[in-house]
Chain A
Amino acid sequence: MDLALAWRFTRRELRGGFKGFRVFLAALALGVAALATVGTVSADLLASLDRDARALLGGEAELRLFNRAFLAEERNWLEANSRRLSETAEMRAMARAGNGERRLVELKAVDTAYPLYGALELAPPTGGADALAEIDGRFGAAVESDLLERLGIAVGEEIRIGEQSFVVRATIAREPDRTASAFTFGPRVLIALDSLAGTGLDGPGSLVYRHVRVDLPEGESLAAWRERLDRAFPEAGWRVAGLDRAAPGVERFIRQVRLFMSLVGLTALLVGGVGVANGVAAHLESRRDTIATLKCLGASGGLVARIYFLQVLALATIGIAIGLAVGAAAPVLVAPFLSEAFNLDLGGAPALFPLLLAGLMGLLTAALFAFRPLARAQRLSAAGLFRGHLEQRRQRLPGWLWPAVIAAALLLAFLAIATHHDRLFAAGFVGGAVLVLAAFRLAATGVMGLAKRIPRPRRTTWRLALANLHRPGTPTPSVVISLGLGLTVLAAVALIQANISRQVLQEIPAEAPTFYFIDLQNEQVDRYDALVRAHPGVTDMNRVPMLRGRITAINGKSPEQLAIPPQVSWIFNSDRGLTWSRAQPEGVTLSGGEWWPADYAGPPLVSLDQELGQALGLKLGDTITVNVYGRDVTAAIASFRPIEWAELRINFVMIFSPGLLEGAPASHIATVRVDDANASALERQVTDAFPNVSAIRVADALSGFAELLDSIAAAVGGTGSVTVLAGLIVLAGAVAAGERRRRYDAVVLKVLGATRSLLLGSLALGFALLGLATAAIAAVLGSIAAAVILELVMEQEFTLLPGPLLWTLAAGLAVTLLFGLAGTVRALGARAAPLLRNE
């Protein structure tokens, strides 16, 4: 009954329209839209990963072998135990055109059954098998159009890969099983599996991945099938993946990005919350007479609070609906771009859960920030009606306020944390956001206190400016909080971005080699060494044998039995490069143990990455078992080495003592540093002399990496700017709310003889001081946030770079001045008479 009555009064209140609620609606809609968009788009991505799992995996199960081909008995078993299968091989190789141009490519050799799922789309449209088949003694190839540009050739012309020539018959429009990988070394080239042998690229020890994709026998589960497979070939050393791991890297990437972006979205919502609080407070202020009248007529404080709470809920529903509409439409709008980037079919119906979640979080935020002004309204004294002036006495706020605020805040935090897989990070972020919010509230109080305590300056401009910062009704707290949070995110993102690109683009290349040459065969190394040594401009060269192997046990325990910390789990996820060395390699220092003597011939020893050793709590003498070519070899740890992966030298987690691996078929990997003038000539000479060898130009790889970082940074910056935008909306609202008062002040001061330039100067100075103070605090907090994220989460070095911080300061100053003065010019032009008469 009471609620029905409250709702009846609320409906009448809403007749006033939405004037005065624009900031409230915009701030809430923006925050909800950001959260909902991140939610629906990532849900769409994950759902289509699931939907397209067969196409992405290439079958219902995939076996991956490294460095060796499937044996006849293995293939026979797989053929007998599947409905159908397809085999492919992937490696890096050099593609050379007749004109002498060459380019590192990602080569993929496929059989005629490929692809089992999805379609290989070529231009001009041809069946994959036809495009690649041997016709008139010549094999075909399909390539990414990028390669044609790089080599300066067209469809119909020839390329050479290893020892084999191919006619480029088509370009690849879509490769169904290509998952978005963080970055690739070159454009894709598809050839027929039959033609691979002719290239001479699958020599012993070459870095070749071989895949067999199968459709499981009718009615058999992956687990059951796998058990039979393991029984038949216990030592095969292949990695088996099912539909649940069709694209684990992509899935992890999407989840990470979702985590980060939805937390930034949450920040935007929190900033919007400040706008909600301002909007509700301003509205209730304008309704003081109505509230007081209702109370005089016998309405209880509780009824008043309910009336306006329902009004806030009704308006919040509208703002949330706008945000959700954006979130629901987003997957459709971004589908074309993301489908391309992730090779997925996007654009399904928007997922309900992320929308519900965003809506609920929006509602909680609105309630959280509306409680305090509502509590004030409940306690508003009706006596003010008789006096015609503001009630300045402080009212004791009702007892429900703090429990309600705490409950809403906890529920909001719970939703933010519980719905993410990395709860620790989410919790850290939420805690950090609360601290930053509290810090800015405190800072606002500090700024006001300082402005009050500074001895009164002699210049009128300064005196008025300082007074504007602290007197009753000042926008200082709103401006500091709304702008401050946004600028903090901006400063943190800018600093992280600048630090990473500095490390990738400036610090590394100074020490990095010019080229990596991979897949050198044993019998080629002497000739290779002689060629490079004789080449002009070479300043440094290094070459080591390399095998691939997987860690199968540590101290006799398999990885499944070990508690592996996440930062070293990558070491166990797949094959690792292994090498052996008689002497302690140049530049390698030991942090524990000793290097074996040059003539060592005892039981196998290994020198291990210090980080892995520490993470697993290993000590000298512990054993590591590695599966190499299907054979388990066990070595005792003789020493630990710190490894700086960022130096881009040839580095291995494990270096073995001589005597264990020499016999195994290894390829060699070499680095060369050569001056720019001679680099291309060296690449040409090496790849001409050894067609099977691939040259990786570090600068190309790094620029690819830098592009990737740039696009991630752009996405992160884009999300971050949503927070800034939310801050600007709130800021505009806060400044506009003070306009009436500024106009009145300006009129009174003009009547008393103040010039317009004095008024403008004092207002500009006030806003400039406020902007600078806010930006300075944001720069400090942003730096702390960036340092924490870089050092603790990303494990990168943090350097305080002045550039991004200066930008933050400039942005804060510019924005407050712009918004502040925009609302002031009108105030200065106000005519005195009407205002004075009304008062």
Chain B
Amino acid sequence: MIELSGVTLTLPSLAGPVEILRGIDLAVGAAESVALLGPSGSGKTSLLMVVAGLERATSGGIAVAGVDFAGKSEDALARLRRDAIGIVFQDFHLVPTMTALENVAVPLELAGRRDAFERAAAALGAVGLGHRLEHYPGQLSGGEQQRTALARALVVRPKLLLADEPTGNLDGATGEQVIDLLFSLAAEAGSTLLLITHDPALARRCRRQVRMADGRIVADSHSSARAAAAG
């Protein structure tokens, strides 16, 4: 589902170019769930953005859901996100002037689906917000907002679900509800999950853990498991 080979990312800054990613090789299979761990500034979020096509890698090869990013325009990558990638943010990022229903319908509308609103309503029902369809984000609690964002990310049944600390802004109990939902819905949709977290317990719920530091992958449970199996 994700094929990264020798991916580097260097961004200009006032103090000179900064190497954010320094040669990432990563392969993630379909329906796999991967937790991305590491200290602040290790490059987790940048890696997620590169995978989402929101940030262009400086060098290296990237393919997501069978689409090679090389030579793809910004709009082509936007279409890829629309059709195959769902994203959940720590800060939810719902559009404040749209109702919950409209927020969830956006990706379907962008894809030109006639049944956008029916499917969006069903998706909100699935996260337990069937009674909140016409509420604006400002009228929803934090947990409800994140459940809405989850419904929005999964409503197109994306091949790949990216999540950046999805419970970082929620209290423990609410966070757990959201995580339960996230895993069950991703499993139901057959989505591959790439999840950034600082929470070791949450990371353990993923089948595979990848640890980053200083722009490199320093540990990968999958390869160590393979190494163990081989050895």
The one of A298, A382, A388 that contacts B91, using a Cβ cutoff of 8 Å = A388
Do B54 and A297 have beta carbons less than 8 Å apart?
A: no
Instruction: Find residues 74-98 in chain B having any chain A CB closer than 8 Å to their own CB.
Output: 74-75, 78-83, 87, 89, 91, 93-98
A300 interface residue (CB < 8 Å to B): yes
CA distance A294 to B97 in the complex (A): 13
CA distance A279 to B54 in the complex (A): 28
B107 interface residue (CB < 8 Å to A): yes
Chain B residues near A387 (CB, 8 Å)?
A: 45
Given A5-B110, A383-B49, A386-B49, are A296 and B93 neighbors across the interface (CB < 8 Å)?
A: yes
A453 interface residue (CB < 8 Å to B): no
CA distance A300 to B76 in the complex (A): 8
Do B75 and A301 have beta carbons less than 8 Å apart?
A: yes
The one of B54, B106, B111 that contacts A294, using a Cβ cutoff of 8 Å = B106
CA distance A62 to B199 in the complex (A): 99
Stretch at the interface among A285-293, A639-647, A694-702: A285-293
CB B198 to nearest CB in A, in angstroms, measures 15
B134 interface residue (CB < 8 Å to A): no
Q: Which of A5, A16, A293, A381 has the most CB of B within 10 A?
A: A293
Given A298-B83, A381-B54, A386-B45, are A12 and B78 neighbors across the interface (CB < 8 Å)?
A: no
CA distance A297 to B83 in the complex (A): 9
Do B89 and A386 have beta carbons less than 8 Å apart?
A: yes
CB A784 to nearest CB in B, in angstroms, measures 40
CA distance A6 to B102 in the complex (A): 14
Q: Which of B11, B94, B95 has the most CB of A within 10 A?
A: B95
B48 interface residue (CB < 8 Å to A): yes
Do A386 and B48 have beta carbons less than 8 Å apart?
A: yes
Chain A window 269-302, contacts with chain B (Cβ cutoff 8 Å), 1 for yes, 0 for no = 0000000000000000000011011111111111
Q: Interface size of B by Cβ–Cβ distance < 8 Å?
A: 34
Do B49 and A297 have beta carbons less than 8 Å apart?
A: no
The one of B93, B106, B107 that contacts A385, using a Cβ cutoff of 8 Å = B93
Chain B residues near A13 (CB, 8 Å)?
A: 97
Q: Interface size of A by Cβ–Cβ distance < 8 Å?
A: 30
Do B45 and A294 have beta carbons less than 8 Å apart?
A: no
A8 interface residue (CB < 8 Å to B): yes
Given A381-B54, A383-B49, are A294 and B95 neighbors across the interface (CB < 8 Å)?
A: yes
CA distance A387 to B93 in the complex (A): 12
Q: Which of B49, B78, B106, B107 has the most CB of A within 10 A?
A: B78
A1 interface residue (CB < 8 Å to B): yes
Nearest B-chain residue to A295, judged by Cβ: B78
CB A119 to nearest CB in B, in angstroms, measures 62
Chain B residues near A298 (CB, 8 Å)?
A: 78-83, 107, 110-111
A15 interface residue (CB < 8 Å to B): yes
Do B78 and A300 have beta carbons less than 8 Å apart?
A: yes
A389 interface residue (CB < 8 Å to B): no
Do B87 and A296 have beta carbons less than 8 Å apart?
A: yes
Do B93 and A292 have beta carbons less than 8 Å apart?
A: yes
CB A385 to nearest CB in B, in angstroms, measures 6
Chain B residues near A388 (CB, 8 Å)?
A: 91
Nearest B-chain residue to A303, judged by Cβ: B110
A837 interface residue (CB < 8 Å to B): no
The one of B54, B93, B95 that contacts A12, using a Cβ cutoff of 8 Å = B95
CB B38 to nearest CB in A, in angstroms, measures 15
CA distance A426 to B49 in the complex (A): 53
The one of B12, B74, B81, B96 that contacts A296, using a Cβ cutoff of 8 Å = B81
Chain B residues near A299 (CB, 8 Å)?
A: 78, 82, 106, 110
B147 interface residue (CB < 8 Å to A): no
CA distance A383 to B102 in the complex (A): 23
Q: For the complex, would chain A's binding face be called helix, strand, loop or mixed by DSSP majority?
A: helix
Instruction: Find residues 147-185 in chain B having any chain A CB closer than 8 Å to their own CB.
Output: 152, 164
B68 interface residue (CB < 8 Å to A): no
A458 interface residue (CB < 8 Å to B): no
Do A290 and B49 have beta carbons less than 8 Å apart?
A: no
CB B14 to nearest CB in A, in angstroms, measures 8
Nearest B-chain residue to A298, judged by Cβ: B82
B16 interface residue (CB < 8 Å to A): no
Do A12 and B102 have beta carbons less than 8 Å apart?
A: yes
CA distance A797 to B55 in the complex (A): 64
Chain B residues near A302 (CB, 8 Å)?
A: 75
CA distance A299 to B95 in the complex (A): 13
A231 interface residue (CB < 8 Å to B): no
A459 interface residue (CB < 8 Å to B): no
Chain A window 1-26, contacts with chain B (Cβ cutoff 8 Å), 1 for yes, 0 for no = 10001001000111110000000000
Do A296 and B54 have beta carbons less than 8 Å apart?
A: yes
B231 interface residue (CB < 8 Å to A): no
Do B107 and A297 have beta carbons less than 8 Å apart?
A: yes
Chain B residues near A290 (CB, 8 Å)?
A: 95-97
Chain A residues near B12 (CB, 8 Å)?
A: 393
B52 interface residue (CB < 8 Å to A): yes
Chain A residues near B71 (CB, 8 Å)?
A: none
Chain B residues near A393 (CB, 8 Å)?
A: 11-12
B112 interface residue (CB < 8 Å to A): yes
Nearest B-chain residue to A16, judged by Cβ: B97
CA distance A289 to B74 in the complex (A): 18
Chain A residues near B107 (CB, 8 Å)?
A: 297-298
The one of B11, B48, B109 that contacts A5, using a Cβ cutoff of 8 Å = B109
Chain A residues near B110 (CB, 8 Å)?
A: 5, 297-299, 303
CB B116 to nearest CB in A, in angstroms, measures 10
Do B82 and A297 have beta carbons less than 8 Å apart?
A: yes
Chain A window 373-406, contacts with chain B (Cβ cutoff 8 Å), 1 for yes, 0 for no = 0000000011101111000010000000000000
Do A300 and B95 have beta carbons less than 8 Å apart?
A: no
Chain B residues near A1 (CB, 8 Å)?
A: 112
CA distance A298 to B80 in the complex (A): 7
Given A1-B112, A12-B102, A294-B95, are A300 and B75 neighbors across the interface (CB < 8 Å)?
A: yes
CA distance A717 to B75 in the complex (A): 52
Nearest A-chain residue to B149, judged by Cβ: A293
Chain A residues near B82 (CB, 8 Å)?
A: 297-299
Chain A residues near B74 (CB, 8 Å)?
A: 300-301
CB B75 to nearest CB in A, in angstroms, measures 4
Do B152 and A297 have beta carbons less than 8 Å apart?
A: yes
Chain A residues near B81 (CB, 8 Å)?
A: 296-298
Given A293-B94, A298-B81, are A383 and B54 neighbors across the interface (CB < 8 Å)?
A: yes
CA distance A430 to B152 in the complex (A): 51
Do B112 and A300 have beta carbons less than 8 Å apart?
A: no
The one of A5, A12, A383, A386 that contacts B98, using a Cβ cutoff of 8 Å = A12
CA distance A300 to B89 in the complex (A): 20
CA distance A386 to B97 in the complex (A): 21
CA distance A381 to B77 in the complex (A): 13
CA distance A13 to B87 in the complex (A): 22
Given A5-B109, A298-B79, are A293 and B55 neighbors across the interface (CB < 8 Å)?
A: no
Q: Which of A8, A298, A387 has the most CB of B within 10 A?
A: A298
CA distance A289 to B98 in the complex (A): 13
The one of B54, B79, B109, B112 that contacts A382, using a Cβ cutoff of 8 Å = B54
Do B95 and A8 have beta carbons less than 8 Å apart?
A: no
Chain A residues near B164 (CB, 8 Å)?
A: 386
Nearest A-chain residue to B85, judged by Cβ: A298
Nearest A-chain residue to B153, judged by Cβ: A297
CB B117 to nearest CB in A, in angstroms, measures 11
A-to-B contact residues, CB < 8 Å: 1, 5, 8, 12-16, 289-290, 292-303, 381-383, 385-388, 393
> Can you offer 23 A-B residue contacts whose CB atoms are under 8 A?
A1-B112, A5-B109, A5-B112, A12-B97, A12-B98, A14-B97, A289-B93, A293-B94, A293-B95, A295-B54, A297-B110, A297-B152, A298-B80, A298-B81, A298-B107, A299-B78, A300-B78, A300-B79, A302-B75, A303-B110, A385-B89, A386-B49, A386-B89
Q: Which 5 pairs of residues, A with B, have the shortest CB-CB distance?
A: A298-B82, A300-B75, A298-B81, A293-B93, A383-B54
Q: Using A292-B93, A298-B110 as known contacts, list a sample of 19 further A-B pairs with CB atoms less than 8 Å apart, ordered by residue number in A.
A: A1-B112, A5-B112, A12-B97, A12-B102, A13-B97, A294-B95, A296-B52, A296-B87, A297-B106, A298-B80, A298-B111, A299-B78, A300-B74, A300-B79, A381-B54, A383-B49, A385-B91, A386-B54, A386-B164
